[in-house]
Amino acid sequence: MVRSWQEMNALTLAYLGDAVYELWVRTHLLSLGYEKVKDLHHIATEYVRASTQAMLLHTIIPQLTETENQIVHRGRNAKGGHPKSTDVVTYRHATAFESLVGYWQMTGNTERMQWAFEQIDELLEAKRNQANHEQENLDEPVLQREQ
């Protein structure tokens, strides 16, 4: 018998949310026309990295319900390790996002989940534009910047 979301700890919700989000990312990239596995993998890593998930969470937090905020709080405060590739705060926010996705999956709230996922392309585009702008500034000669 499947347990209700209230009976699950935040890391279990995050485990489910991670799989649901990964499946959405892969399906989404295919729908955008990507077909080469190397390209799919490279682009998918942008979507699923902890910093991107944390950024998406910060974007949607103002529109979350009280229950959704409680899930985020539980996920953020869940005890668990973190990989060396990211800092603990970012990783905990990513875990909170995954817990929220797991909650939406368990409650059948796919519309809410889709609403959150649809914001990711815009966020990633803004992140790429910012990185490109910063690189352009680094490429400028020092004397030109000082004028």
Check if 121 is active-site.
no
98 with 18: CB under 8 angstroms? yes
101 with 117: CB under 8 angstroms? no
CA 140 to chain CA centroid, Å, is 33
> CA-CA-CA-CA torsion for 31, 114, 89, 72, nearest 10 degrees?
-160
Q: Which of 18, 39, 87, 121 is catalytic?
A: 18
d(CA 130, CA 128): 5
Catalytic residues: 18
